[in-house]
Amino acid sequence: MDDTDSSDSWDFQDEDGPCFSSNGSNSVIPSRGASMCGAEGSTSNQSRSNAISHFTEMGFAEDLVIKTVDEKGEENTEAILETLLAYTAPEECASRGEPVLSHPSSPEFEWDSFDDLSDFSDAESCLQNEENLEPVPETKMMQLVAMGFSIGEVSAAINSSDPDTSIADLMDYISAAQMAEPTSDHPRELPFEGRGTPDVKKKKLVKQEFQRGREIRAWRSSRKEEMEKRKRYLSPVEDDFIKIPQLMIGFGVPRHPRIGFKRKLPDVAIGPPYFYFENVALAPKGAWSSISRSLFNIEPEFVDSKYFCAAARKRGYIHNLPTDNRFPLLPIPPLTIAEALPLSSRWWPSWDVRKQFNCLLTCYGSALETERIRKDLEGWQGDPPEHIQKRVLNKCRKWNFVWTAKNSVAPLLPEEVELMLGYPRNHTRGGGTSQAERYKSLGNSFQVNTVAFHLSVLKNRFPNGISVLSLFSGIGGAEIALHQLGIPLRFVVAVEISEVSRNIFRGWWENTDQKGVLIDNITDVTMLTADKIEKLVDYCGEFDLVIGGSPCNNLTGSNRWHRDGLDGKQSVLFYDYCRILNTVKRLMREN
């Protein structure tokens, strides 16, 4: 193609991004890291006006554009664009559950890397119960830029298509344009309409652009398949779905009892042994119906741990324990943030209305997130504007940030998470355990006070000690609950695949000078065969309690890509819990 031909749309890029795009009109797209290109001799007011006009045409609110331009300067287009996008695109993509193709150093990228481990479904539910956040309108331009496309590519695609063209079709258009780039490694000199010929900007290698387009198409294809699979899974196929109550108090919690409540267990479910199973409450539709059918059609007990501590933790429990005469652990733990973390009250702003934390996750907010919040809040006299408040508060809710100084937030410390979940201080510390491993092990654990409330009915039944088969034992939440209730641990067979969690549990066992027998050399529930169970039953003299919570990886709402329910790679281990429980029941009947 002749280099003097200006009839087509071209974009000029350097290594940092687009400079500007000519589309056969007088509009000019500003570059990242370059000043606004205007006719020589333009006045400062004209430059400011052009900048405001340009960004409002992209779909940003005019008052927000004016404020940002005045704050950053009309020539600093990179800072203006990044500030405006920070106000809009990332939060909107996250609120719709769409992935953002981020740089690996961004907090969104870090969050995605923890999806398989976190339990963010609870946090999402808590956000729904908090103040409703008003969505910020978002244009197609902003969505595509947030996905990683350059402004020039997006502008050319939008100007060459109909107004109602979908985002998916625009992505195809851009990918096709990338593949049509010249194959030379050297950049092509392209014309500027009546603006002279500045230095030619070096373009990315065609090979890199082709690879990027291929990755985008592969991502779109995989996302489409996953969404169709999820849609099929969530589609009703039966009428007996168990509905999760909005008020999660189970069969009664302290200060919220269910007066006159009685339940009748099926004969086949009555012990021995007692059994207790836990998993996330907000699982895909039909999951709890399947769990209930597999566990003798017992009605689940859905409880939010916010009635036992200062953090929400929505869980479902199926068990054959009595429900009368339960009692909580004493002293009652702090139930609000102000009670649990009194030192933070000094810095807590009046517009942060949180009284309790959302679900405690297996990961924590990055330093980049806290730095963004600090920059958002600095420079304002008094309270920041309402849109800043809402954006900061949304991040604080998502990551359970606490205020540590004026305009400064930080993640909860592992010791503070231990307090919320009812574990002894420094329970997860030591033995070479990293901070990330501490957060992960705590995020996957029981909330001790909640479990202890349910298990409290066993205190008078086992005054001489209890024999426990603990599946997916983690860091020993069930055993700590029994210990704090004053029930001696006579025999404990702990099955846990994580070496870190096993070390933490064994450390607690030794530090508390337990007198019973701990067997923790079985690391995988799939290895616990009927023969091994029979030998354990003979050795321990039968089990009084079979307890555990299978992995929630494929059930939790945070896992948007592999939320395959009980058929998922990790959550399918629930059926091993059922297999082992039935084997124990059979052996105990035979004996």
pLDDT confidence of residue 43? 56
Told to judge if 396 belongs to the known catalytic residues of this protein, a careful annotator would answer no
Q: Tell which residue, 429, 467, 426, 473, has the closest CA to residue 451.
A: 473
3-class DSSP state for residue 245?
coil
Strand partners, 467: 491
pLDDT of residue 10: 33
Phi, psi at 45, each rounded to 5°: -65, -40
Q: Average pLDDT by consecutive 10-residue portion of the chain (591 residues)?
A: 38 33 34 38 67 73 82 77 62 40 34 36 41 46 69 73 69 64 41 41 53 71 67 48 85 88 88 92 86 92 96 94 93 94 93 94 89 92 91 94 94 94 93 87 94 96 95 95 96 94 94 94 91 91 92 64 65 90 91 76
The beta strands (E) that lie in 351-425 are given as 402-405, 408-410
Question: Which residue ranges make up each domain of the chain?
Answer: 10-232, 239-332+422-590, 337-420
Tokens of 400: 């359970």
Distances (CA, A) of 492 to 91, 226, 341, 512, 549: 46, 41, 35, 15, 16
pLDDT at 559: 52
Considering only the C-alpha atoms of the chain, give the largest distance between any 2 of them, rounded to a whole number of Å. 98
pLDDT the model gives residue 273: 93
Q: Which is the catalytic residue, given 126, 540, 552, 578?
A: 552
Cα dihedral 255, 256, 257, 258 in deg (nearest 10):
170
Distance CA 338, CA 181 (A): 59
Contact status, residue 531 vs residue 548, Cβ threshold 8 Å:
no
SS3 breakdown of the chain: % helix, strand, coil, rounded to 5? 45, 10, 45
Which of 392, 388, 412 lies closest to 400, judged by CA? Answer: 412
Residue 108 · residue 100 · CB < 8 Å:
yes
CATH superfamily for 239-332+422-590 is: Vaccinia Virus protein VP39 (3.40.50.150)
Strand pairing report for 274-280 and 545-548: parallel
Identify the pLDDT of residue 209: 60
pLDDT at residue number 228: 67
**Residue of 102, 100, 56, 103 whose CA lies nearest to 80:** 56
d(CA 561, CA 11): 34
The per-residue pLDDT for 44 is: 64
Q: E strands, 272-338, where? A: 274-280, 301-304, 314-319
